[in-house]
């Protein structure tokens, strides 16, 4: 009998290609109603929210760019971005990546899937790619919907940047999209942590909430008076650092550091998830998450990564202490004031003046003479002075500053009333928002502090 | 020199075996899940795998499905040696620890996506759904399916691959009697077409009805492997319920039968069997009893084992395997 006459089965049939696994994972994800609801919400809710808020008389001025929502359609997507970075993006990563492995445990489908795909490596790759695709769709929905809502409700107008400069609509569009793009990287880091939790904790619902819990912990950490090198080493910092794109010059240092930190976390968490997944024995029916030992294997390397990151940032940057001091605030507030003063001048139909001609300066003091002029707090008081061209008189205005540990501050005008003491301006065409009444701005934490 | 006629060579035997496992061991940490297990399943045979919880059935089925690699021993599936996980030849299908379905997809959707994942066409989906009796609910989401329907859909998913070896873990779990009969018919039909089936179940009636051979596992070891008939024959004495037209006379006759004992306790009988007699005997003594009852003019209405022979054998063998040997700490 010749070998050809016998229909022997193929020994070791080939594993399914990743693209087939990816398609399968994508279909499973998109068939889940929580994911469908999330997609619907992300593509619709921001537009409705931005359109509704932009047309209200009371604007969310406590949110970054919220006070400009009625002025330009580009402020709305930034308000959505700020809110999303706090809660929405970590929760979305929980929903998608935090469940993509655990769900197979809950449904008891791992063995089934392995028999069909024949390669844990390819299953892992397919699941990661599918969850990233869905997360990208969700993030894209939030961004596009916010932009569409803002442009439809308010229009394509210049955006006031964080130091008061006006960004032309084209420039505003590019910067807004760049800000959203930069938020994708920390989202990937949270997604990787979600994947790791999902692999390490099996069917336990704890895996599902890990990215959200991490976001909560990091938000609390950002409120603490941490040294700046620790603050920027936290993976949530890139969720804040995008605002540096809206200063002139852009504060790219913290953003780049935040993105690198997020990328490092994304790579580390994905690698750990992969290693844990590949070590799993799928015939062990008693398996229910990899237990405390695996948790240690998952958590300790990430803590070590944080320590290394702090060390690297401390050695490559000149940042120290809180990164906030009087000189930085003087410079930042004077610049913002000059830009916004020009805007006020235009609203009042006064002769135009340039920021250079104003020669504005600020002098900030924290808590009186007995307190050092460093660090966050709401006890900063600044006096801004300026000169009008052709006049020897020196104008002055007072601001009370609430400076957050992350470098963002709100300067609240304290007079005189005709400059910054009242929230509206009386113009020939009616009352308009006074741009000098409250100022949102931020200092660069990574630039050297003054001696 | 006289040449002896050659016995069937080992190779020849292997050609006809769908599963040939020799000395399989598997550990989970320090726990011995399988300890030198042998298993031989011929082509077209329905082979039952029985054992108490924790005996190693699911682990063994997992190895047959290629989900893991044995720590020791040799395993051949459909004639191909299997030396690592997920490296089975084509033609093996089944499920272990539940059918593994996605509740947010429809029955048809589950099968179609699995077929696409494997790179197969979706042509046979209607046929396999028809085979397992789920055509009417093909476009319903699995979320609303009963356990029995899920089991049948799991079987359909396995059939879709046109397997030569089918490995099923508790396929009758959750099935109503009609559903169980339906599944039996499907499996019997497959075996008749040459498909080998390894099936684990706690339901002895299922196994007795389906399997030509069984392997009984206890604490990771094989305590019996062979034809069901041999297992039943090896069982020896069993308890039988005897219902007759004249219970008093039947009792008198029974006391005269050698090698037959009347069991005093009625604990094993239902309340409705108050008139029944419980006797313990091997088959020859039972034959003798029936002959004598007929001779005495007593009508035999029922003579049935209280516990099915297969179940009795299972209980006896697994109890013996679990009993600590002399000197072993309790």
* Residues 154-193, chain B, touching A (beta carbon < 8 A): 157, 164
3-state secondary structure chain A: CCHHHCCCCCCCCCCCCHHHHHHHHHHHHHCCHHHHHHHHHHHHHHHHHHHHHHCCCCCCCCCCCHHHCCCCCCHHHHHHHHHHHHHHHHHHHHHHCCCCCHHHHHHCCHHHHHHHHCCHHHHHHHHHHHHHHHHHHHHHHHHHHHHHHHHHHCCCCCEECCCCCEECHHHHHHHHHHHHHHHHHHHHHHHHHHHHHHHHHCCCCHHHHHHHHHHHHHHHHHHCCCCHHHHCCCCCCHHHHHHHHHCCCCCHHHHHHHHHHHHHHHHHHHHHHHHHHHCCCCCCCCCCCCHHHHHHHHHHHHHHHHHHHHHHHHHHCCCCCCCCEHHHHHHHHHHHHHHHHHHHHHHCCCCCCCHHHHCCEEEEEECCCCCCCECCEEEEEEEEEEECCCCCCEEEEEEEEEECCCCEEEEEECCCHHHHHCCEEEECCEEEECCCCEEEEECCCCCCCCC
What six digits make up the tokens of B196? 């080998």
Three-state SS at B13: helix
CATH of domain B13-232: 3.40.50.300
Positive or negative: CA dihedral B273, B276, B278, B279: negative
Residues of chain A in contact with residue B100, where contact means CB-CB under 8 angstroms, are 107-113
- Alpha-carbon distance B82 to nearest alpha carbon in chain A (angstroms): 8
* CA distances from residue B86 to A17, A97, A278, B80 in whole angstroms, order as listed: 14, 25, 13, 13
Contact A24 B89 (CB under 8 A): no
Give the whole-angstrom CA distance, residue A392 versus residue B106.
Answer: 81
Quick: pLDDT tens for B179-225.
888 888 899 999 999 999 999 987 777 788 889 899 999 889 998 89
Nearest to B118 among A27, A116, A283 (CB): A116
Name B290's Cβ contacts closer than 8 Å, sequence gap at least 6.
B300, B303
Positive or negative: CA dihedral B247, B252, B254, B255: positive
3-state secondary structure B216-238: EEECCEEEEEEEHHHHHHHCCCE
Q: Nearest Cα to B110, choosing from B89, B88, B139, B70?
A: B139
Nearest to B87 among A12, A110, A120 (CB): A12
pLDDT-derived band at A161 (thresholds 50, 70, 90) equals very high
Quick: pLDDT tens for B27-58.
888 888 999 999 999 999 999 998 888 889 98
What six digits make up the tokens of B257? 């039968």
Q: Is any Cβ of chain A less than 8 angstroms from the Cβ of B93?
A: yes
Q: Is any Cβ of chain B less than 8 angstroms from the Cβ of A5?
A: no
Give the whole-angstrom CA distance, residue A106 versus residue A93.
Answer: 19
Give the whole-angstrom CA distance, residue B263 versus residue B276.
Answer: 11
Name B267's Cβ contacts closer than 8 Å, sequence gap at least 6.
none
Tokens 């359609």 belong to: A73
The top-scoring range by mean pLDDT among A37-46, A296-305, B154-163 is: A37-46
Residues of chain A in contact with residue B107, where contact means CB-CB under 8 angstroms, are none
pLDDT score of A87 more than 70 = yes
Q: How many CA atoms lie within 13 A of A105 on its CB side?
A: 27
pLDDT-derived band at A83 (thresholds 50, 70, 90) equals very high
Contact A9 B80 (CB under 8 A): yes
For chains A and B, CB pairs below 8 A equal: 110
Q: Which of B62, B70, B106 to mutate to test the interface with A (most CBs of A within 10 A)?
A: B62
Q: Which residue of B has its CA nearest to A119?
A: B86
Beta bridge partners of A439: A411
Annotate A287-319 with b (16+ C-beta within 10 A) or e (fewer).
Answer: bebbeeebbebbeebbeebbeebbebbbeebeb
Q: Which residue of A has its CA nearest to B165?
A: A9
Quick: pLDDT tens for B50-106.
888 888 998 999 899 888 889 999 999 998 898 887 777 888 999 888 888 999 999
What six digits make up the tokens of A53? 């808020």
**Which pLDDT does position B280 carry in this prediction?**
85
Mean pLDDT of A29-38: 94
Give the H/E segment covering residue B32.
strand B31-42
pLDDT score of A37 more than 90 = yes
Contact B66 A118 (CB under 8 A): yes
Give the whole-angstrom CA distance, residue A192 versus residue A170.
Answer: 34
Give the H/E segment covering residue B255.
helix B247-255
For A286, other C-beta atoms within 10 Å of its C-beta total: 9
* CA distances from residue A3 to A9, B18, B175 in whole angstroms, order as listed: 12, 18, 44
Give the whole-angstrom CA distance, residue B192 versus residue B211.
Answer: 12
Q: Which residue of A has its CA nearest to B116?
A: A20
**Which pLDDT does position A292 carry in this prediction?**
65
Domain ranges in chain B?
A: 13-232, 235-315
Is the peptide bond preceding residue A249 cis, with omega within 30 degrees of 0? yes
Q: Nearest Cα to B163, choosing from B270, B269, B37, B78?
A: B78
Q: Is any Cβ of chain B less than 8 angstroms from the Cβ of A98?
A: no
Contact A115 B28 (CB under 8 A): no
Tell me whether 0.85 is exceeded by the ipTM. Answer: no
Q: Is any Cβ of chain B less than 8 angstroms from the Cβ of A10?
A: yes
pLDDT score of A5 more than 60 = no
pLDDT-derived band at B322 (thresholds 50, 70, 90) equals low
Residues of chain A in contact with residue B89, where contact means CB-CB under 8 angstroms, are 9-13
Contact by Cβ (8 Å): A429, A339: no
The top-scoring range by mean pLDDT among A213-222, A328-337, A442-451 is: A328-337
pLDDT-derived band at A272 (thresholds 50, 70, 90) equals very high
Contact B67 A283 (CB under 8 A): yes
Q: Nearest Cα to B154, choosing from B97, B197, B204?
A: B97
Residue B78 — φ and ψ, nearest 5°?
A: 50, 35
Residues of chain B in contact with residue A282, where contact means CB-CB under 8 angstroms, are 62, 67-68
Residues of chain A in contact with residue B28, where contact means CB-CB under 8 angstroms, are 281, 284, 286
Residues of chain A in contact with residue B118, where contact means CB-CB under 8 angstroms, are 16, 116
Domain B235-315 in CATH: superfamily? Malonyl-CoA ACP transacylase, ACP-binding (3.30.70.250)
Query: pTM for the complete prediction?
Result: 0.82
Q: Which residue of B has its CA nearest to A17?
A: B117
User: Residue length, chain A?
Assistant: 451
What six digits make up the tokens of A436? 């000098």
* Residues 32-91, chain B, touching A (beta carbon < 8 A): 33, 58-59, 62-63, 65-68, 78-81, 86-91
Mean pLDDT of A151-164: 93
Give the whole-angstrom CA distance, residue A305 versus residue A298.
Answer: 11
Give the whole-angstrom CA distance, residue B28 versus residue A264.
Answer: 34
* CA distances from residue A4 to A1, B79, B195 in whole angstroms, order as listed: 8, 15, 22
pLDDT-derived band at A12 (thresholds 50, 70, 90) equals low
Q: Is any Cβ of chain B less than 8 angstroms from the Cβ of A115?
A: yes
Contact by Cβ (8 Å): A191, A129: no
Three-state SS at B213: strand
pLDDT score of A1 more than 70 = no
Quick: pLDDT tens for A210-226.
888 888 998 888 888 88
What six digits make up the tokens of A228? 């700046």
Nearest to A111 among B33, B62, B78 (CB): B62
Mean pLDDT of A159-177: 94
Q: Which of A111, A130, A277, A288 to mutate to test the interface with B (most CBs of B within 10 A)?
A: A111
* Edge-to-edge order in the sheet of strand B46-50: B92-95, B165-169, B196-200, B46-50, B213-218, B221-227
């Amino acid at each position: 009998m010749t070998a050809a006459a016998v229909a022997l089965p193929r020994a070791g049939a080939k594993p399914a290609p990743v693209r087939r696994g990816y398609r399968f994972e994508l279909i499973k994800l998109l068939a889940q109603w929580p994911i469908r609801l999330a997609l619907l919400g992300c593509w619709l809710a921001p537009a409705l929210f931005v359109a509704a808020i932009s047309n209200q008389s009371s604007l969310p001025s406590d949110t970054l760019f919220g006070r400009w929502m009625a002025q330009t359609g580009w402020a709305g997507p930034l308000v959505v971005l700020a809110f999303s970075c706090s809660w929405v993006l970590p929760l979305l990563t929980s929903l998608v990546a935090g469940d993509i492995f655990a769900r197979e445990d809950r449904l008891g489908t791992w063995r089934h899937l392995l028999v069909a795909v024949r390669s844990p490596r390819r299953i892992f790759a397919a699941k990661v790619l599918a969850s990233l695709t869905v997360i990208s769709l969700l993030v894209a929905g939030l961004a596009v919907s916010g932009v569409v809502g803002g442009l439809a409700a308010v229009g394509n107008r210049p955006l006031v940047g964080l130091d008061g400069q006006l960004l032309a609509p084209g420039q505003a569009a590019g910067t807004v999209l760049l800000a959203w793009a930069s938020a994708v990287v920390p989202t990937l880091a949270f997604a990787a942590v979600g994947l790791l939790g999902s692999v390490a904790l099996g069917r336990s619902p704890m895996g599902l909430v890990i990215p959200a819990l991490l976001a909560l912990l990091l938000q609390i950490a950002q409120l603490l008076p941490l040294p700046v090198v620790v603050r920027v080493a936290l993976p949530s910092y890139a969720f804040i650092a995008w605002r540096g794109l809206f200063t002139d010059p852009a504060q790219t240092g913290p953003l780049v550091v935040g993105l690198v930190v997020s990328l490092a976390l994304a790579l580390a968490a994905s690698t750990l998830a992969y290693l844990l997944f590949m070590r799993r024995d799928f015939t062990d029916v008693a398996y229910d998450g990899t237990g405390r030992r695996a948790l240690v294997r998952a958590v300790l390397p990430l803590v070590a990564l944080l320590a290394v990151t702090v060390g690297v940032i401390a050695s490559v940057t000149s940042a120290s202490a809180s990164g906030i001091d009087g000189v930085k605030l003087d410079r930042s507030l004077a610049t913002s004031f000059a830009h916004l003063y020009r805007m006020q001048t235009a609203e009042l139909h006064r002769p135009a003046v340039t920021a250079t001609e104003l020669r504005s300066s600020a002098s900030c003091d924290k808590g009186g003479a007995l307190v050092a002029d460093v660090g966050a707090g709401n006890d900063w008081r600044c006096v801004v002075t300026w000169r009008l061209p052709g006049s020897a008189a020196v104008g002055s205005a007072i601001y009370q500053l609430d400076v957050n540990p992350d470098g963002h501050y709100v300067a609240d005008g304290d007079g005189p009333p005709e400059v910054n003491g009242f929230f509206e301006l009386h113009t020939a065409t009616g009352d308009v928002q006074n741009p000098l009444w409250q100022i949102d701005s931020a200092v660069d934490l990574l630039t050297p502090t003054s001696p | 020199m006289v040449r002896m006629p050659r016995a069937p060579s080992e190779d020849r035997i292997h050609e006809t075996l769908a599963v040939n496992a020799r000395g399989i061991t598997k550990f989970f940490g320090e726990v011995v899940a399988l300890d030198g297990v042998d298993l031989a399943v011929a082509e077209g045979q329905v082979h039952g795998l029985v054992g108490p919880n924790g005996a190693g059935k699911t682990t063994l089925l997992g190895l047959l499905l290629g989900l893991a690699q044995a720590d020791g021993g040799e395993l051949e599936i459909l004639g191909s040696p299997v030396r690592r996980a997920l490296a089975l030849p084509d033609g093996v299908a089944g499920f272990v620890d539940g059918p593994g379905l996605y509740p947010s997809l429809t029955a048809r959707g589950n099968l179609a996506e699995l077929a696409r994942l494997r790179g197969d066409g979706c042509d046979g989906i209607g046929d396999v759904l028809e085979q397992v009796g789920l055509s009417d609910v093909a476009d319903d989401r699995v979320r609303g399916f009963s356990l029995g329907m899920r089991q049948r859909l799991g079987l359909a998913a396995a059939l879709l691959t046109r397997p030569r070896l089918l490995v099923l873990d508790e396929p009758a779990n959750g099935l109503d009697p009609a559903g169980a009969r339906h599944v039996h018919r499907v499996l019997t039909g497959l075996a008749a077409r040459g498909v080998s089936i390894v099936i684990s179940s706690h339901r002895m009636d299922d196994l007795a009805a389906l399997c030509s051979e069984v392997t009984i596992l206890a604490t990771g070891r094989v305590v019996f492997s062979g034809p069901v008939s041999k297992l039943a024959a090896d069982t020896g004495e069993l308890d039988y319920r005897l219902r007759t037209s004249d219970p008093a006379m039947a009792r008198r006759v029974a006391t005269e039968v050698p090698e037959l004992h009347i069991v005093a306790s009625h604990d094993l009988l239902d309340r409705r069997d108050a008139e029944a007699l419980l006797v313990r005997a091997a088959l020859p003594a039972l034959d003798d009893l029936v002959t004598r009852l007929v001779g005495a003019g007593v009508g035999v209405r029922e003579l049935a084992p209280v516990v099915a022979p297969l179940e009795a054998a299972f209980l006896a063998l697994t109890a013996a395997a679990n009993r600590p040997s002399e000197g072993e700490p309790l």
